[in-house]
A and B are shown apart, each in its own frame.
Chain A
Amino acid sequence: MAVTRALPLLDVDARVWRGRLFYGAVVAALAYLVVVPVWRLQSLAFENGGAGYESQYGRSDIGDTLRTTVQLALASLVIAMVLGTLLAFAVTRLPHRAGFLRVIPVLPIVMPSVANVVGWAFLLSPGPGYLNALMRQLPWWNDLDSGPVNVYSSTWVIIITGFGLTSFVYLFVSAGMQNISSEHLEAAQSAGSSQLGVFFKVVLPLLRPSLVYGGGVALLLGLGQFTGPLLLGQNEGMKVLTTEMYRRTAESPVNYAAAAAAASPLVILGLLVVFGQRFLLGNQSRFVTHGGKSFAPVGGRSYWAAAFVAGYGLVALVLPLVGVLIVSLSPFWSENLSWDFLTLDNYRELFSTPGITESVTTSVVTSLAAVAVCVPVGLATAMLVVRNRHLKVIRLLGDVISALPLGIPSVIFGVGFLLTYTQPPFILYGTKWVIILVYIVLMIPFATRMQMTALISMGDTYAEASAVSGASPLVTALRVTLPMLKPAVLSAVALMFILLTHEFAASLMVRSATTQVMGTLLYDHWSNGSYTLVAAMAILMSAVTTAGVAIAMIVGGRNVLDNL
């Protein structure tokens, strides 16, 4: 100790170097996982004089593909932004008695997207879709023998995609709203601002980070949409860049170069959005909004808000679930329903059909494994970005690399991982490891951002107050920072588990024939037309996720979903 005291500068230097080494190692590992597969894939597109680009962009339908990709992303973004923001606002105005409804906007995330999409197909397929069959009973449609809605049309793929993205926008916007201190609102009101004035001049500007993040994320998710176009759009030949990538990897021999070329515009846009968000948000400490009082809506509570939230829940969650449930209890999918037909055979088949129980185990094990890695790595990255401003280069790299998987569609990581891990030095094809690794990459942004947001929102004041009271940095970390981060960590764990047990796009690329997760096996049965089994599997997938959420609630308290 005497020596250390005598050489305080050396001690500080050693600490800085230790930090540099530690964070440098974390960032290097992240770079290998995140950047290398995308880099290898993209360099392939340039090989042989850009043969990949020639093959993909020389196709006669490429114009249509690009147009559809952009249309899908923009139109579903508009739907998601409007619905997401309205929902966030409506939730703050829910009457006390209807308070339980505030969980509804996040519940569609709990329902797997493949289950949701097949649910809509069961409801709105032009022929046997249950809602279509009901609508054909109406006097003005009773002359139709199919329709009136065609779920396989691009319009409906866009609408369903928009519904799917709404929950994500809601999460970002509502998190932003919760963090706005009512002191700001009261101050504006005291200064004579109207309710509308408060919303536009105070709430919306303070929501800017949430809207920019939420909008950016939803746009990228829209551009990278895969499930809807693949499961529904094939019927009418809908093509987007992600489904083109999948098709190129389903050719013999696999045309990685063309798949990489199809991915290029999405990679470039992803990079632009990730860097654009950094530029737009700038100094994030401007958005520290913790105050003495939490957000309290200005103005009265409204039953219209309750009706809106409940209506959304009915359309986005209950209807597709009912569609799936009915088919899962039928011997075959048909518009002619009868109580006599009801059967539990499809659920029995879940246990007798090869691979289904294994796929549940694989999904749960790989998801848990990825979450177990993501939480500490995400925390390290969040600490690096928020609390280590002196490590300029490492901090910038950590920030950007951890955000990349949000910007680049998961299907691209899937193809990149397939390419990278079917070649030396690490041949992991056919193992669970490759699934775990791609899951880690996909979840790093969530693990990092959710813990980072909590750290940013806390600001430095708590740490400073702790320090002023005489606590050492370690004591401050253990007794102030970590307890305050606990809700964020638990929410991150819950969200990551939910997203991973649903994961489909990247899994579809890296799975092998006998190492499957629930989503990929469900897709195989969908392609093979085993609709009743698909419906039972969709219910099973939802049950697995619900069980995960229930455990998260037991561990983290009932509000764990609110913290999303």
Chain B
Amino acid sequence: MTSKRLAAALAGGLFSVAALAGCGSDSGGGELAGSWDGIVEAAKKEGEVVIYGTVAPDNLELLKKAFEKKYPDIELTYVRGTDADLLPKVEIENQTGRGTADVHMTTDAGWIDRSADGGYSVDIVGPSFDNEDYDRSNSVIDDQWFLTSATVFGLGWNTQKLPNGVTSPEDLLAANLKGGKLGVTNPAGIPTYVDMYRTIDEDFGTDYVDRLAAMDPRVYDSAVAIGQAIASGEIWASPTIGSTILTEKANGAPVEFIIPEKPFGVPWYSHVLSSSPHPNAAQVLADFLVTPEGQAAISHDFVPALPDIEGTGVAGSDLLAQEIPLGDPDELSGDSVAAYQEEWEKQFLD
């Protein structure tokens, strides 16, 4: 084979690549329109919007349906992941200017605090934030981060494996649950879980986390995975969030969930990203999230940020997301979280 022939073949190969790969991702959106009506019109022209969220995937699916029903011209794409999955992506998109996400939801109080210096967010402009029920002064930080939902951690279990059920956090420390029958979430890269372990260590009973670690529980990457593991019987019980358990229960899985006396709660805050490729659609979605329709979707089986929304909230209580405080950013700094993570791994994984 001659060099010329090789060169021709190489050129052919490269040409095929160019043809096959198509163009890259869109990035760098247009301008934000001057009025709300203009923004909605511009959003329809943009035609799509992307949200990153750590909330349960079923809620994001509900949000997609509700949003596209109200705005049929705008397609909503959601990406569900843990903070460990999503925060590095948000940072890289901000750094490269190649945005994919338009709106981002997180529970990481430390990151929310640190992001102010990074130029990650733009001001929110939607009219629904001024709805009296939403209580803007208690729900919006620096005109950029807005309260979206909240969750409380309780106790979930498999009713076939534990037919007598669970009534308090102490029940999870029973001898028959030792050796891989309990599930816990790895706090690696998820400061909210660091906050949770620190809190339940006191609120669930003295040295609760030490005693939990002594049960030799199985470790999972997310609460969603724990919900499925309880449903499958892979684990029998877990201190976890309720929505995933309730979703499995609705699917017919043998699971149950209760909220203990002193539950740990955490709010979700969202922001419109400055690297958003669809700046108008991003504002429309942000606004939609705090409307009754948006809350019914995103806060289904969670704690809502608006009162009297059907299908949301904690049974027997009118708890609102505004009543669940955001963690202390000073206690959730990078170093503090890393130190706790190391300590946690020694307890749970060694």
Segment of B166-174, B228-236, B307-315 engaged in the interface with chain A: B228-236
Number of interface residues of A (CB under 8 A): 77
- Alpha-carbon distance between A123 and B92 when the two chains are bound, in angstroms: 38
**Closest chain A residue, CB of each to CB of B223:** A529
Query: B232–A61 contact, CB under 8 A?
Result: no
Whether a CB of chain A sits under 8 angstroms from the CB of B221 is yes
- Alpha-carbon distance between A247 and B92 when the two chains are bound, in angstroms: 16
**Closest chain B residue, CB of each to CB of A22:** B3
- Taking the closest CB of chain B, its distance from the CB of A355, in whole angstroms, is 8
Whether a CB of chain A sits under 8 angstroms from the CB of B205 is no
Query: B81–A513 contact, CB under 8 A?
Result: yes
Whether a CB of chain A sits under 8 angstroms from the CB of B136 is no
Q: Which residues of A contact B180 (CB under 8 A)?
A: 126, 146, 150
**Closest chain A residue, CB of each to CB of B186:** A234
- Alpha-carbon distance between A375 and B229 when the two chains are bound, in angstroms: 44
Segment of A205-213, A281-289, A292-300, A427-435 engaged in the interface with chain B: A427-435
Query: B98–A430 contact, CB under 8 A?
Result: yes
Whether a CB of chain B sits under 8 angstroms from the CB of A83 is no
Segment of A107-115, A184-192, A262-270, A332-340 engaged in the interface with chain B: A332-340
Mark interface residues in B134-161 (1 if CB within 8 Å of A CB, else 0).
Answer: 0000000000000000000000000001
Among A127, A146, A528, contact of B57 (Cβ-Cβ < 8 Å): A528
Query: B89–A332 contact, CB under 8 A?
Result: no
Query: B227–A380 contact, CB under 8 A?
Result: no
Q: Which residues of B contact A181 (CB under 8 A)?
A: none
* A252 touching B91 in the complex, CB below 8 Å, given contacts A127-B235, A512-B100: yes
**Closest chain B residue, CB of each to CB of A532:** B228
Chain B contact-residue range equals 35 or more
Whether a CB of chain B sits under 8 angstroms from the CB of A195 is no
Q: Which residues of A contact B13 (CB under 8 A)?
A: 372-377
Q: Which residues of B contact A528 (CB under 8 A)?
A: 57, 80-81, 222, 224-225
Interface residues of B in 91-122 (CB under 8 A from A): 91-93, 95-98, 100-101, 108, 111
Q: Which residues of A contact B161 (CB under 8 A)?
A: 145
- Alpha-carbon distance between A181 and B84 when the two chains are bound, in angstroms: 56
Query: A436–B100 contact, CB under 8 A?
Result: no
Q: Which residues of A contact B92 (CB under 8 A)?
A: 254, 418, 422, 429, 512
* A152 touching B218 in the complex, CB below 8 Å, given contacts A22-B3, A250-B189, A354-B78: yes
**Closest chain A residue, CB of each to CB of B98:** A430
- Taking the closest CB of chain A, its distance from the CB of B25, in whole angstroms, is 4
In the complex, besides A127-B234, A436-B17, A512-B100, 20 extra interface pairs with C-beta distance below 8 angstroms are A18-B3, A22-B3, A59-B342, A236-B218, A247-B189, A251-B88, A252-B91, A254-B91, A334-B231, A354-B77, A366-B21, A375-B13, A377-B10, A429-B96, A431-B21, A513-B79, A514-B50, A524-B81, A530-B228, A531-B232
Interface residues of A in 403-442 (CB under 8 A from B): 418, 422-423, 427-433, 436
- Taking the closest CB of chain A, its distance from the CB of B90, in whole angstroms, is 9
Query: A332–B17 contact, CB under 8 A?
Result: no
Query: A527–B1 contact, CB under 8 A?
Result: no
Query: A235–B89 contact, CB under 8 A?
Result: no
* A236 touching B17 in the complex, CB below 8 Å, given contacts A512-B25, A514-B100: no
Whether a CB of chain A sits under 8 angstroms from the CB of B214 is no
- Taking the closest CB of chain B, its distance from the CB of A523, in whole angstroms, is 10
Query: B231–A332 contact, CB under 8 A?
Result: yes
- Taking the closest CB of chain B, its distance from the CB of A219, in whole angstroms, is 27
Whether a CB of chain B sits under 8 angstroms from the CB of A48 is no
- Taking the closest CB of chain A, its distance from the CB of B155, in whole angstroms, is 18
Query: B349–A376 contact, CB under 8 A?
Result: no
Query: A234–B96 contact, CB under 8 A?
Result: no
* A236 touching B349 in the complex, CB below 8 Å, given contacts A436-B21, A513-B101, A527-B225: yes
Whether a CB of chain A sits under 8 angstroms from the CB of B197 is no
Interface residues of A in 204-236 (CB under 8 A from B): 234-236
Interface residues of B in 30-80 (CB under 8 A from A): 50, 52, 57, 64, 77-80
